Amino acid sequence: YPEGKGPFPLVLIVHGNHMAEEYSEAGYDYLGRLLASRGYIVASVDQNFLNFSLVDLVRSEIGLSNEHRARGWLLLEHLRLWREWNGQAGNPFSGMVDLERIALIGHSLGGEAVAVAAALNRLEVLPDDARIGLSHGFGIRSVVALAPAEGGYLPGGNPASLENVNYLTLQGSHDL
């Protein structure tokens, strides 16, 4: 996080799918440090428990099913914590976070997760199960998807659509 009083914009970064036993969050340290030096608070969100595992391979299964919406929802719940910390007297981040200036960055399945999070953010209920309330309403202004996966979460058979948010996607030519 940057030096100074703030409030500062918040950036959440999320990794893609890989073996759950391998951690990749530290791989975004360079980006976090760069963004912090430019005035952003940055957090890398661990979603390893949603990734496939060696145990899955032994059982001839490939990870969880229908976890794609959970990846986006988890980012929104992480933002809920930031809202709590920001308003909590005595918390190191009290008053430091500008919750109206949020960016989400994700790679691969994380790239899909950030788009899903931004789409779910503006909804009152989950589109494929209206019994689950959402009502997050965070100031997500930007989404950056690095070689994003797509098609993992299709509520009503349609991809999540984004409105009124800056969206940048970078796709590599040799991304596997």
The pTM score is 0.82
Q: Of 90, 88, 104, 91, which is closest to residue 141 (Cα–Cα)?
A: 104
- C-beta of residue 97 within 8 angstroms of C-beta of residue 82: yes
**At 77, is the secondary structure helix, strand, or coil?**
helix
Structure tokens at 148: 């994003």
Phi first, then psi, for residue 78 (nearest 5°) are: -65, -40
Q: Give the pLDDT of residue 111.
A: 84
Structure tokens at 110: 């994380």
Q: What is the pLDDT of residues 20-64, one digit of tens each?
A: 556 666 677 888 899 999 999 999 887 655 555 555 544 445 544
- C-beta of residue 126 within 8 angstroms of C-beta of residue 135: no
* Distance from C-alpha of 175 to C-alpha of 63, rounded to nearest angstrom: 21
- The residue with greater pLDDT, 143 or 130, is 143
Q: Which strand ranges, in their side-by-side order, compose the sheet holding 140-146? A: 41-45, 8-14, 97-107, 140-146, 166-170
Burial 73-108 (b: 16+ CB within 10 A, else e): bbbbebbeebeeebeeeeeebeebbbbebbbbbbbb
Q: What is the pLDDT of residues 69-84, one digit of tens each?
A: 778 888 998 999 999 9
Q: Give the pLDDT of residue 23.
A: 65
